[in-house]
Amino acid sequence: MSTVAEQPSAIRSYYKGLSEGVFRAITCKVCGGYTFPPTGCCEHCGSWDVTPVELSGDATLLLASHNISPACHPRFEKIAPYVYGHIRLKEGPIVQAIILGVDPTPQALKALFERGPVPVKAETLQMDDLPVLAYRIVG
């Protein structure tokens, strides 16, 4: 009986890194674009000529809102209510993620909005199943 060798997986590597506090993406050798979270090919030009990279975790929060109860997925019920936002990574991509350390109230969100874009740092939010990427305001 022959055995099947396990193939490398960008998603498996992403979640393994996330559980260790390492933030992974791929960068394209053709167009230079970053794809995050990582996949098998470049999301910008479609090239398969990509290489894995570690991201800095530094980013800028562009806008934030709060979830509408109930949470968007049952796995997030235990952390609801929460704030999420659009974040521009230092390396370029814009992602959506949970924002830690901000109250999900209209007053807190208004104060955050009035500050304008603010620096954030990536963290791993450990969940019962898979880890989740989150960001915390640092400035």
Give the model confidence (pLDDT) of 71-129 as tens digits: 777 788 888 888 999 999 999 999 999 999 999 999 999 999 999 899 999 999 998 88
pLDDT at 42: 95
Euclidean distance between CA atoms 55 and 76, whole angstroms: 25
DSSP string, 12-40: HHHHHHHHTT-EEEEEETTT--EESS--S
- pLDDT at position 69, please? 67
Instruction: Identify the pLDDT of residue 57.
Output: 96
Using the structure block, give the residue that is written with the tokens 């791993």. Answer: 124
Annotate 76-95 with b (16+ C-beta within 10 A) or e (fewer).
beeeeebbbbebebebebeb
Residue 71 CA to residue 79 CA, distance in Å, equals: 9
- This prediction has a pTM of 0.85
CA-to-CA distance for 108 and 110, rounded, in angstroms?
A: 5
- Tokens for 113, please give them: 């909005």
Beta-carbon count within 10 A of 21 CB = 11
Q: Which amino acid is at 10?
A: A
pLDDT band at 7 (very low <50, low <70, confident <90, very high): low
pLDDT given for residue 73 in this prediction:
75
pLDDT at 8: 67
